[in-house]
Amino acid sequence: MPTSTLKIGCHLSIADGYLAAAKTAVSIGANTFQVFSRNPRGGSARAVDAGDIAQFLRYAGEHGLLPVLAHAPYTLNAASSTEATREFAESCMSGDLKTLRLLCGAANYTFHPGSHTGTGMEEGIGHLVGLLNRILVQPSEELGVRSEEREINWVSGIQNLEREKKDSTRSVPSAVPYSSLLTPHSTLPNHEPRILLETMSGKGSEIGADFSQLRQIIDGVTHNEDLGVCMDTCHVFAAGYDIAGDLDDVLEQFDREVGLSRLKAVHLNDSMMPFGSRKDRHAKIGEGLIGADALVRFVNHPALRHLPFYLETPNELDGYAAEIAFFRDNFSA
């Protein structure tokens, strides 16, 4: 799908809410962004603020930020050999998806497939597939928040804003059709969050470093229509896919094994570790072993350029702003 606009952002904090994160994204030149769905090193999740969500949806729609990407916490391991660990992962993921449905389809959800922790790839994938089959039941009415309830939550949030701002000169609409906020990068028409398996580097007993493993997971899920992939450039490079030297071949492999239609987002990172190292260490753009030129070729590739790109490089905001500007300057119209 041809596009003349680069969809790019970075990972931001929602400690001050979704609206604050969206305003930060705009301030650094981003037109999308990624957040953690909850504490990345624990399991706690911030309370949902309907007013913040209502303001965020309007602001993000006006500034073309949708969809954003929510990243599950690193502590999740749905493929673990330990039942309690798998139960924790299922609880967190189910809760995250319920929260994201309140965003009316404005966010997708990515997670690490996990590690089999010694029981073997087949058993680990089996555990993960089992979890996904339990939380991806058909369709949204069985998943916690029905479509009409999502609308009620959103309208209620905006109505609360109206009450709070009744003495303000700024007008807040009583209801804004979500369809009016959608961009060409929007999510599914039924507003379900799309769940994205992240490609991994392959360290230890990690699942998802080989494209065929992603295919096996997808094929095992009954209702896999909403299941896609987020490709991490650092991870695939470390896993032995030569995106720096032969990107076309890598994409052909991905298309054969998974299908390019399943690729819905990219984590755009350089790599501190060498090709095929199976070690996950992100580097700033141009300071790693993939290199800035190769990553520019990546975002400009005809099969990739329409995707949203999310920087996860070790940067502060000014560094992210510079990397975003760099890719915009080197994006072919």
- Write the pLDDT tens digit of every residue in 104-141: 778 999 999 999 999 999 999 999 999 999 998 744 44
pLDDT score of 44: 73
pLDDT score of 190: 47
Tell me how many helices (H) and strands (E) the chain has.
Answer: 10, 10
pLDDT score of 59: 96
pLDDT score of 66: 92
- Alpha-carbon torsion, ordered 166, 169, 173, 174, to 10 deg: 20
**Two tokens, residue 115:** 């590690």
User: What secondary structure letter does DSSP report for 192?
Assistant: P
pLDDT score of 3: 63
Contact between 65 and 28 (Cβ < 8 Å): no
pTM: 0.85
Beta bridge partners of 301: none
pLDDT score of 290: 98
Beta bridge partners of 308: 7
Low-confidence spans in the chain with pLDDT less than 50? 1, 138-190
Among the listed residues 184, 180, 232, 226, the one whose alpha carbon sits nearest the alpha carbon of residue 206: 232
- Delineate the domains of the chain, giving CATH numbers in brackets: 7-329 (3.20.20.150)
Q: How far is residue 284 CA from its own chain's centroid?
A: 20
CA distances to 66, 136, 137, 174 from 126, rounded to whole Å, are: 33, 15, 17, 47
pLDDT score of 106: 87
pLDDT score of 260: 98
SS3 per-residue string spanning 125-188:
HHHHHHHHHHHCCCCHHHCCCCHHHHHHHHHHHHHHHHHHCCCCCCCCCCCCCHHHHCCCCCCC
